[in-house]
Structures are given as structure tokens and as C-alpha cells.
A and B are shown apart, each in its own frame.
Chain A
């Protein structure tokens, strides 16, 4: 008898169906647990620590199960994955919100407002947390960093000057004071002593000085509070930007950032730059370096002025379309609260949200570098979100970054270049961030 095609098909499919049914019937009856999804990124070490934190959270909340996905890589890949899931209507319940991407996500209504839940929470107390970390996840419908809260910070990463103690000792330079920032004049004198040529190899005193720290410490601004005007063409800002360019052009203590063949971080790690300004997140990596290092505050223009710099941060946001907002909030409440923060701080790459917690050994980690970790705490007090977080669309910032190379190369002084590019940047800022 010839087998008809449908007979063959059913013979092939039947076992699969039977097997599936059997699998489901032997599954444990866990239908009472709610499952929420968490998507984030990070280095493999962070994954282990986050899993432990989640395990503790699940112990304390037996009715909630967290399905954690870590996207490998950093930044760009992660954001695209989250965007795809949102567009496919499969947004994760909880996901990392980098402070630079917060504007775009909140503008399209993709994050849940959490003011009410935070107010009722007994674990989260906003007045304990760094104001700059909390405010950068606010949105009032028109301007970022003000208004309702849409995410809780998972961390804050302030910046400081990392210095290579071995090089300082070799050149007979005393280590900088951890409690008082150097003035610009003192800093240049120190960096000149640390700039030397060793055969074919050039050593620099400083690499990677962020211009926004110079501008803010000098009293200038980058955008106005209403985010409609670009303000880098004020006299203080121009002087600050020119000072940064002069580090390479006039004093020769820094490599020229326009010759971007090696980046500043790599120079510091190779021992070719004695000092380097970077964020707290580099600590786990630098702890593996063979040379001795420590941190100091970022220099200020004149004595007595505050040292203001940018800090990075990642938030924990709840998707506006989440079907389990209460459970999702419990998760971010735990991770952003003192207990979760104590665990996450073990990686060494972040300052915990709670200021009282940051002052304890959980963060200070005595016995591990940096010895003067309190430098980061003082930096966090005065830090601000970076200019790339000021508006939902930051094309104007990219345009500025490419045109500013004229100043770094020395083709035009800042006092000419910055006013000249002001109309274009202001127009790009307004055009791409319409007020609707």
C-alpha cells in the first residue's frame, strides 16, 4: 500500500506533539510566580555579581522570578537590541537606560513614571541619593533633568585624575593633594616635570583632559537651562577651551587629541602618560595594571573654585508597556536601594547611590587601589550629567565634536572658532529637538 503524503506527515509530527505535551505535564506547578525580564549589558564579572544580587532579590520575593539577559558588548549593540524589542512589542519589563539614551526613550513615552511608587517606597529615599544622579532621569515633557522621575540610577561614575605613582616617583614629583584640587598653573608646572623624552618615546604629563570640566569649573556653561541655546561662546568658556588646547599646543604636556591615533586611556595604561582624567568605571580595569596608581581631584582655574566635572550613569527603567509594573518596581527598588547597591559596588566600578553607603568601606574598599577613593565622593557631589545627555537628540553635540578639532589642531584659536560655529550648532540643536 502506498503511503499517502498526509499519512507520512502525521507520522512525523505526532511524536513531537506527544513529547511536547509530556514535557509540559511534568513541569513544576510554578504558575503562581510572576516572571519579569531584565536586560542589561556589562563585562562578564558584572554578570556574576548581578546574578547574585538577583538571587538574593528572588529569595526575599519568592513570588517573583527574574529572567536576566546580558547583552555582550557595550553601548551601541545594547541600545539597538532594546529598540528592536520595543518596536516588536516585546519590551523587557526592566532594562538599563544609559543616561545619554534616556532623553530619546522618555520622549517617546516608553518609560513608566515612578514618582508615586518611589514616594510610597520604604527602601528608596531620594534625599539620601546623589542629586545629580537622580535628576538626570527626570523629564517634564519639554526639558530633561527636571520634572517627573522615569528611572532610578543604578550607579553614578564620577571622574577624577588618575596618576601613575611609579612615574611620579621616578621624576621626583610629590603626589597631588587628595583633598584640594591643584590650580591650573600648579598643574601645568607639575605636568611639565612629567613630560620627557626617553630615547624615541615621548612621555606626557597628562592625557585626556575633558574640556567640559574646564568650562564648568571656570564658570561657563555648554547649554542653557532651557536647552535652546548653545553657550560655549561666552568669554569664560572660550578661555577654558583654549586652555585645554594649549596643553598640547603651547605647553606640550599633552598629546594632541586631533592626532587621534592612540587614545588617552591607552597612553595611560602603557605608562606613557603620567596622569589621565577618567571615570570611576575604569577602576576594575586599572586594578589589573602592574604599576602603582592613585587618584586626585580635577584641577580648577584658581584656588577656591569648585571642581566640576561630568559623571556617567546608567539608570534602571520600567517599560511603559510592562504587564507587571509592581513587580518590576520591586526589582529596581531593590537594585537601586542600599542592599542591592552594596552588592553592585563590589565590582569596584561604581559609586553607590546612597551617600551614607558610599562613605563606608563598602565603597572605600581599603586595601585596594585607589587608596584615596574619597576623591570620587567629592567629585560626585559637584558632578553634572555630560552635555551629551542634555537633549533627546544630540546631533548638535556630534557636530560640535567634529568642528572643535580646528581648535585642538591649532588651526584657529577658540575665540574665533567657537563664535563662528555657534549659529550652526544652535540651529542644529533647535532643528533636531523641536518644541512640540
Chain B
């Protein structure tokens, strides 16, 4: 580094001073607890008694003997299916609302409402919709002649699709807004050139529009998967883990283990396994991105 002038040095000091506070916050409230939880994952810690070192016993139990890990991870994987479905739906919506319509602003606002809705309010709404006796879906099915409408949230086979549907509804508005912004950035000259070359609407979409918005698609995919792997609020308020743990995600099992039964050592081990999984999946996505994401 070249010798800095006196003013340069004092400017740098001010810079460090301002940065110090968020860095300190990170060390105290993020990195510190992470290191502590790594240590705790190697102990048997029941909160009411001091931690007791057990080495890798928690991880061994997790990988060899735990029944619920397999089931909850399978559930979590199922919920990830909702991400491509949701992206397709929001993209369609964004393309529809990208045209000059009357009340375009109103439509965009209406579709964005679920994003600002509290999860508890949304859960109350959807529990009412899914109620077999007096819910919206049940009533319409009865009008169509179905005598015994299914109990969506109480049936082990139907509960996950029901929650995926609710999840898509929730994420629609937010992704739609991102796609709308990306669609504005599709280069018009390219589209016109493709039309002149004889490409039909579908071909223009597939070869021009999609690659142009692929950075946004990539962003939504990565953040969607990271969030999806840690899915908790929605499932907890809707079903608490559902009939026979058929809707329980990994995070719900972690929460019950740690905050209901206070087996904090075991829960910390689960947290680290989940964190590693998220890192792995994200790294994989970034590797694959080179194939399909194009930046101008």
C-alpha cells in the first residue's frame, strides 16, 4: 500500500470506525452464536443443566437412528417442488400485467397483497378455506355434488399439496414484481430482430425473453430454495407438523426438539446439518448457473 497522506489516513480511520459497529454486531450476534452452537452440537445440553461433552454422538444418532429426520427431509424436498411452479405462475402473471391494461396498477397491488400479509392472518384465511365442513372449497364441491369433501389439512396425502398451493399464493406477488422489473429490461431491438427473422411468439419468448430475465430467475431460484429448505412459519401455524408428521419440515422438528423439549445439543446438531445442506445446494446452483444464466 502506498503511503497515505495524513488526510487519507484520517479518512480511513473514520471508515473503519463506521464499519466497526455492524461488524461488531455480526461478531456478537451472528458469528459468536454460530461458533457456540457448533460447540453445543457436540454436547448434551438440556438448558436446565450445564452442557455435557458427548463428541459426535448427536450426529451419529441423527444419521443412524432418527426416524423423523428422513420423513421431515422428504417433506421439505416436496415443498421445494412449489418453487418452479410458483415461478412459472408469477412469470405468467408478470407477462400479463406487463401490457398496457386499464387498472394495471390496481391489479399489481392486489396480487402483491399476500406478500405484506402477516403469516398468521394468511393461515387463518387458508384454514377457513380448507375446512371440510364450512370452508370455501368444501362448499363448492358440495354444490357440484361431492358428498364428502376432503379434509385437506387432516389427510396425510393431501396436506402437503394443500400447503404448496398456499405457498404459491403467498409468493406470487413478490416474484411477480421481480419479474416485471426484469421484463422491462428485455432489449426491444432483439425482440424486433427476432420477429423480423420469422420467430413466432413462443420462439421469441424461449430464445430472447427467457435468457434476458435469467439473472432474475436465478436470484428467485436461489433465494427460494434457501428459504424453502428452512420453511417453518407457514407449516407451524397451519398444521403444527400435520397429521403424523406428514407436513412437518426439518425446521419444525428442530424447533420442537430445541424449544419444546429443550434438547439444545441435539437441536444444534440438526441446525448444522441443515446449514451444510443449504450451503451445498446453493453451491450446486451456482455451478449449474453457468449453463443457463446469461448476463449481458
Q: What is the total number of residues of chain A having a CB less than 8 Å from a CB of chain B? A: 26
Q: Are A261 and B48 in contact (CB under 8 A)?
A: no
Q: Which label, helix, strand, loop or mixed, suits the secondary structure of the B interface?
A: loop
Comparing A147-155, A322-330, A370-378, A400-408, the segment that makes contact with chain B is: A400-408
- Whether, in the assembled complex, B86 has its beta carbon less than 8 Å from a beta carbon of chain A, the answer is no
**Cβ-defined partner of A259 (8 Å) among B46, B48, B151:** B151
- Whether, in the assembled complex, A270 has its beta carbon less than 8 Å from a beta carbon of chain B, the answer is no
Given the complex, which residues of A lie within 8 Å of B46, measured CB to CB? 108
In the complex, the chain A residue whose C-beta lies closest to that of B151 is A259
* Contact residues of A between 100 and 126, Cβ < 8 Å to B: 104-105, 108-110
In the complex, the chain B residue whose C-beta lies closest to that of A258 is B154
- Whether, in the assembled complex, B245 has its beta carbon less than 8 Å from a beta carbon of chain A, the answer is yes
Convert B40-74 into 0s and 1s, putting 1 for each residue whose CB lies closer than 8 angstroms to a CB of A: 00000011110000000000010001010000000
Q: How far is the CA of A403 from the CA of B262 in the complex (A)?
A: 23
* Contact residues of A between 381 and 436, Cβ < 8 Å to B: 393, 395, 398-399, 402-403, 405-406, 409, 424, 427-428, 431-432
Q: Are B244 and A405 in contact (CB under 8 A)?
A: yes
* Contact residues of B between 233 and 259, Cβ < 8 Å to A: 241, 243-245, 256
Q: How far is the CA of A397 from the CA of B245 in the complex (A)?
A: 14
Q: Are A427 and B67 in contact (CB under 8 A)?
A: yes
In the complex, the chain B residue whose C-beta lies closest to that of A260 is B154
Q: How far is the CA of A432 from the CA of B48 in the complex (A)?
A: 16
* Contact residues of B between 164 and 217, Cβ < 8 Å to A: none
Q: Which of B47, B48, B243, B256 has the most CB of A within 10 A?
A: B48
Convert A240-258 into 0s and 1s, putting 1 for each residue whose CB lies closer than 8 angstroms to a CB of B: 0000000000000000001
Given the complex, which residues of A lie within 8 Å of B262, measured CB to CB? 83, 104
- Whether, in the assembled complex, A43 has its beta carbon less than 8 Å from a beta carbon of chain B, the answer is no
**How far does the Cβ of B45 sit from chain A's closest Cβ, in whole Å?**
11
A259 and B132 in contact (CB under 8 A), knowing A87-B47, A431-B61, A431-B65? yes
- Whether, in the assembled complex, A86 has its beta carbon less than 8 Å from a beta carbon of chain B, the answer is yes
In the complex, the chain B residue whose C-beta lies closest to that of A76 is B260
**How far does the Cβ of B203 sit from chain A's closest Cβ, in whole Å?**
50
Given the complex, which residues of B lie within 8 Å of A402, measured CB to CB? 241, 243-245
Q: Are A259 and B154 in contact (CB under 8 A)?
A: yes
A432 and B244 in contact (CB under 8 A), knowing A83-B48, A424-B67? no
**How far does the Cβ of A55 sit from chain B's closest Cβ, in whole Å?**
33
- Whether, in the assembled complex, B282 has its beta carbon less than 8 Å from a beta carbon of chain A, the answer is no
Q: How far is the CA of A395 from the CA of B47 in the complex (A)?
A: 17
**Cβ-defined partner of B48 (8 Å) among A108, A403, A428:** A108
- Whether, in the assembled complex, B230 has its beta carbon less than 8 Å from a beta carbon of chain A, the answer is no
**Cβ-defined partner of A104 (8 Å) among B48, B132, B244, B245:** B48
**How far does the Cβ of A110 sit from chain B's closest Cβ, in whole Å?**
6
Q: Are B261 and A261 in contact (CB under 8 A)?
A: no
**Cβ-defined partner of A261 (8 Å) among B47, B131, B241:** B131
In the complex, the chain A residue whose C-beta lies closest to that of B131 is A261
**How far does the Cβ of B264 sit from chain A's closest Cβ, in whole Å?**
11
A83 and B47 in contact (CB under 8 A), knowing A259-B133, A261-B131, A395-B261? yes
In the complex, the chain A residue whose C-beta lies closest to that of B242 is A402
**How far does the Cβ of A348 sit from chain B's closest Cβ, in whole Å?**
32
Given the complex, which residues of A lie within 8 Å of B261, measured CB to CB? 393, 395, 432
In the complex, the chain B residue whose C-beta lies closest to that of A86 is B48
**How far does the Cβ of A118 sit from chain B's closest Cβ, in whole Å?**
25
Q: How far is the CA of A258 from the CA of B153 in the complex (A)?
A: 11
Q: Are B61 and A110 in contact (CB under 8 A)?
A: no
Given the complex, which residues of B lie within 8 Å of A432, measured CB to CB? 261, 263
Given the complex, which residues of A lie within 8 Å of B133, measured CB to CB? 259, 261
**How far does the Cβ of A292 sit from chain B's closest Cβ, in whole Å?**
29
**How far does the Cβ of B253 sit from chain A's closest Cβ, in whole Å?**
10
Q: How far is the CA of A120 from the CA of B245 in the complex (A)?
A: 51
Q: How far is the CA of A402 from the CA of B247 in the complex (A)?
A: 12
Given the complex, which residues of A lie within 8 Å of B132, measured CB to CB? 259
Q: Are A406 and B244 in contact (CB under 8 A)?
A: yes
**How far does the Cβ of A427 sit from chain B's closest Cβ, in whole Å?**
7
Q: Which of B61, B65, B67, B256 has the most CB of A within 10 A?
A: B67
Given the complex, which residues of A lie within 8 Å of B67, measured CB to CB? 424, 427-428
* Contact residues of B between 251 and 296, Cβ < 8 Å to A: 256, 261-263
* Contact residues of B between 139 and 157, Cβ < 8 Å to A: 151, 154
Q: How far is the CA of A260 from the CA of B243 in the complex (A)?
A: 12
* Contact residues of A between 62 and 89, Cβ < 8 Å to B: 83, 86-87
Convert B102-146 into 0s and 1s, putting 1 for each residue whose CB lies closer than 8 angstroms to a CB of A: 000000000000000000000000000001110000000000000
Q: Are B244 and A403 in contact (CB under 8 A)?
A: yes
**How far does the Cβ of B157 sit from chain A's closest Cβ, in whole Å?**
10
What are 9 sample pairs from A and B whose C-beta atoms fall under 8 A apart? A83-B48, A108-B49, A109-B49, A110-B48, A398-B256, A402-B241, A409-B154, A431-B65, A432-B263
Q: A83-B262, A110-B48 are in contact. List 14 more A-B contacts (CB 8 A).
A: A83-B48, A258-B151, A259-B132, A261-B133, A395-B261, A398-B256, A402-B245, A403-B244, A405-B154, A405-B244, A427-B65, A427-B67, A428-B67, A432-B263
The 3 closest A-B pairs by CB, nearest first: A108-B48, A108-B49, A403-B244
Give me the interface of A with B, judged by CB distance under 8 Å. Answer: 83, 86-87, 104-105, 108-110, 258-261, 393, 395, 398-399, 402-403, 405-406, 409, 424, 427-428, 431-432
